Chain A
Amino acid sequence: MKKHSHTLAILVMNNPGVMARIAGLYSRRGYNISSLAVGETEDPRISRITLVVEAEDENELEQITKQLYKLIDVIKLSDITKDDAVERELALIKVHCNSTNRSEILQIVDIFRAKIVDVSQEGVIIEATGDSDKIQAILDLLRPFGIREIARTGKVALVRSAAGR
Chain B
Amino acid sequence: MKITGAQAVVESLRREGVEVIFGYPGGAVIPIYDAMYQAGFRHILTRHEQAAAHAAHGYARSTGKVGVCIATSGPGATNLVTGLATAYMDSVPIVAFTGQVATGLLGRDSFQEADITGITMPITKHNYLVKRVTDLPAIIKEAFYIAGTGRPGPVLIDIPKDVSTNLVDFYYPEQVNLPGYRPVYEGNARQIKAAAALIQEAKKPVIYAGGGVIISGAEEELLRLAETIQAPVATTLMALDAFPGDHPLSLRMLGMHGTAYANFAVTEADLIIAVGARFDDRVTGKVDTFAPNAKILQIDIDPAEIGKNVRADLPIVGDVKRVLAELVPLLPRQEHEAWLEQIAEWKRKYPLTYDQQEDLIAPQMVVETLSELTRGEAIICTEVGQNQMWAAQFYCFKKPRSFITSGGLGTMGFGFPAAVGVQIANPDRLVVDIAGDGSLQMNIQELATVATYKLPVKIILLNNCYLGMVRQWQEIFCEKRYAATELQNPDFCKLAEAYGIKALSVEKPEEIRPKLEEALNYDGPVLVDCRINPEENVMPMVPPNAAIYDMLGVEK
Beta-carbon contacts under 8 Å, A1-51 to B? 12-13, 16-17, 20-21, 24-25, 28
B121 at interface, CB cutoff 8 A: yes
The A interface, classified by DSSP as helix, strand, loop or mixed, is: helix
Q: In the complex, which residues of chain B have a beta carbon less than 8 angstroms from the beta carbon of A151?
A: none
A101 at interface, CB cutoff 8 A: no
Whether A13 lies near B180 (C-beta < 8 A) is yes
List the A residue with the shortest CB-CB distance to B178: A72
Beta-carbon contacts under 8 Å, B415-454 to A? none
List the B residue with the shortest CB-CB distance to A46: B179
Beta-carbon contacts under 8 Å, B305-352 to A? 306-308
B399 at interface, CB cutoff 8 A: no
Beta-carbon contacts under 8 Å, A34-92 to B? 59, 62-63, 66-67, 69-76
Beta-carbon contacts under 8 Å, A75-114 to B? 75-76
Q: In the complex, which residues of chain B have a beta carbon less than 8 angstroms from the beta carbon of A28?
A: 122
B472: min CB distance to chain A, Å: 30
B156: min CB distance to chain A, Å: 12
Kindly identify which residue among A16, A69, A73 contacts B303, using a CB–CB cutoff of 8 Å. Answer: A69
Whether A72 lies near B180 (C-beta < 8 A) is yes
List the B residue with the shortest CB-CB distance to A71: B180
List the B residue with the shortest CB-CB distance to A15: B128
Whether B304 lies near A63 (C-beta < 8 A) is yes
Whether B308 lies near A17 (C-beta < 8 A) is no
B146 at interface, CB cutoff 8 A: yes
Kindly identify which residue among B122, B126, B129, B306 contacts A72, using a CB–CB cutoff of 8 Å. Answer: B126
Whether B181 lies near A72 (C-beta < 8 A) is yes
List the B residue with the shortest CB-CB distance to A45: B179
List the A residue with the shortest CB-CB distance to B311: A59
B302 at interface, CB cutoff 8 A: yes
B120: min CB distance to chain A, Å: 11
B458 at interface, CB cutoff 8 A: no
Whether A13 lies near B179 (C-beta < 8 A) is yes
B118 at interface, CB cutoff 8 A: yes
Kindly identify which residue among B180, B181, B303, B307 contacts A59, using a CB–CB cutoff of 8 Å. Answer: B307
Q: In the complex, which residues of chain B have a beta carbon less than 8 angstroms from the beta carbon of A69?
A: 303-304
Whether B308 lies near A63 (C-beta < 8 A) is yes
B157: min CB distance to chain A, Å: 13
Q: In the complex, which residues of chain B have a beta carbon less than 8 angstroms from the beta carbon of A13?
A: 179-180
Q: Give the interface of A toward B (CB within 8 A).
A: 12-13, 16-17, 20-21, 24-25, 28, 59, 62-63, 66-67, 69-76
For the complex of A and B, 8 pairs with smallest distance between CB atoms:
A66-B304, A75-B180, A72-B126, A75-B179, A72-B181, A74-B180, A66-B303, A24-B121
Q: A20-B118, A59-B307, A66-B304 are in contact. List 12 more A-B contacts (CB 8 A).
A: A13-B179, A20-B121, A24-B121, A25-B122, A63-B304, A66-B303, A69-B304, A70-B302, A70-B304, A72-B126, A74-B180, A75-B179
Residue contacts A-B, CB under 8 angstroms, 15 given: A12-B180, A17-B118, A17-B121, A17-B129, A20-B118, A20-B121, A24-B121, A59-B307, A67-B304, A69-B304, A70-B302, A72-B146, A72-B180, A74-B180, A75-B179
